[in-house]
């Protein structure tokens, strides 16, 4: 696990060399919050389970509702129809979703090894395009604000 200082240095270097830096998979809370604090855009991803939505809501609370924060509901497994909706309603979570990625059996392989040959599954096209558009729009707005000195 890199130190927070090393990660901050790496992020600064990457930001100077690219338009968009995406950081994922930080399990260490100190590193996760150091990155979230410095990010132009925060993306909080949760599966539609009570545990994961409560975890995501807690992260959003801890970062103080800083904007822009995109909340993504990612279905990484198949649920029986209505199960996740009932359990989430019972948890009384107040975490609105900006983008919802539906369950797609091929998604783990896609995420792990890159897009395989063939076409993107139809049900993923619009949600992933929407997420990409939101990220790029927020990145452009953040860049414009920095260039204006704001």
pLDDT tens, residue by residue, 3-41? 888 888 988 898 888 877 777 777 888 888 888 888 888
CA 140 to chain centre: 17
Tokens of residue 85, six digits:
């909706």
* Residue 30, beta-bridge partner list: none
Residue whose entry in the numeric block shows the structure tokens 């990010």: 39
Residue 2 · residue 31 · CB < 8 Å: yes
Report the CATH superfamily, name and number, of domain 40-147: P-loop containing nucleotide triphosphate hydrolases (3.40.50.300)
pLDDT tens, residue by residue, 57-90? 888 888 876 777 888 888 766 655 555 555 555 5
Give the pLDDT confidence score for residue 13 in this predicted structure. 92
Distance separating alpha carbons of residues 114 and 119, to the nearest angstrom = 13
Give the pLDDT confidence score for residue 113 in this predicted structure. 63
Domain ranges of the chain: 1-38, 40-147
Distance separating alpha carbons of residues 137 and 33, to the nearest angstrom = 23
For 68-88, give the secondary structure using H, E and C: CEEEEEECCCCCCCCHHHHHH
pTM of model > 0.85: no
* DSSP character at residue 73: E
65: phi then psi, degrees, rounded to nearest 5: 65, 20
């Amino acid at each position: 696990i890199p130190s927070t200082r090393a990660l901050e240095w790496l992020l600064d270097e990457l930001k100077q060399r690219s338009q968009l830096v995406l950081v994922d998979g930080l399990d260490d809370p100190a590193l996760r919050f150091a990155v979230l604090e410095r990010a132009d855009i925060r993306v909080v991803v949760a599966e539609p389970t009570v545990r994961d939505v409560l975890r995501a809501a807690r992260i959003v609370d801890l970062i103080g509702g800083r904007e822009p924060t995109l909340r993504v509901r990612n279905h990484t497994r198949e649920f029986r129809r209505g199960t996740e909706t009932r359990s989430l309603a019972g948890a009384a979570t107040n975490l609105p979703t900006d983008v919802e990625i539906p369950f797609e059996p091929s998604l783990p392989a896609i995420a792990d090894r890159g897009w395989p040959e063939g076409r993107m599954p139809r049900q993923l096209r619009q949600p992933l395009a929407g997420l990409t558009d939101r990220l790029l729009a927020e990145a452009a707005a953040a860049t414009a604000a920095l260039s204006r000195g704001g």
